[in-house]
Amino acid sequence: MEIKKKEFTYRGKTVEELKKLDVREFAKYLRARQKRSVLRQFQEIEKFVGRAKTKIAKNKPVKTHQRALIVVPDMVGMKIQIYNGQKFVPAEIIGEMLGHTFGEFAPTRARVKHGSIGVGATKGSKFKAKK
């Protein structure tokens, strides 16, 4: 008995069906906040997708500072680099990212890694034996 991997659907539609839709038609499937954002900036989204497709055709990396753009079906499969304020973070767009913003995939704050205390960090560390 073969186990098939479940195909990804977004609101009952496959990614191929969604790719046939216009950006404004896709907005109907989004939640209210994302729908409002897409309908306000659909021209920016279409411009980004067009620019990205030409760069991908030339084998150039697609870099962007636009962290507020909503992921639409035309972007699925693209490898883009999103600026996090310090560097460009690579991200591959997959179906599960539909409706999310680019900024969610490039965190601006690094995870805190607590190490051993340094000398002078606290009053008590002054008396800690030096290794």
Taken in order of first residue, the domains within the chain and their CATH numbers are 9-108 (3.30.860.10)
Instruction: Determine the pLDDT at residue 120.
Output: 63
Query: Measured between alpha carbons, how far is 68 from 100 in angstroms, rounded to an integer?
Result: 9
Query: Measured between alpha carbons, how far is 129 from 65 in angstroms, rounded to an integer?
Result: 47
Helix (H) or strand (E) holding 91: strand 88-92
Instruction: Determine the pLDDT at residue 90.
Output: 97
Q: Which residues of the chain have pLDDT under 50?
A: none
Q: Is 4 exposed, middle or buried (0-12, 13-18, 19+ CB in 10 A)?
A: exposed
pTM for this model (two decimals): 0.82
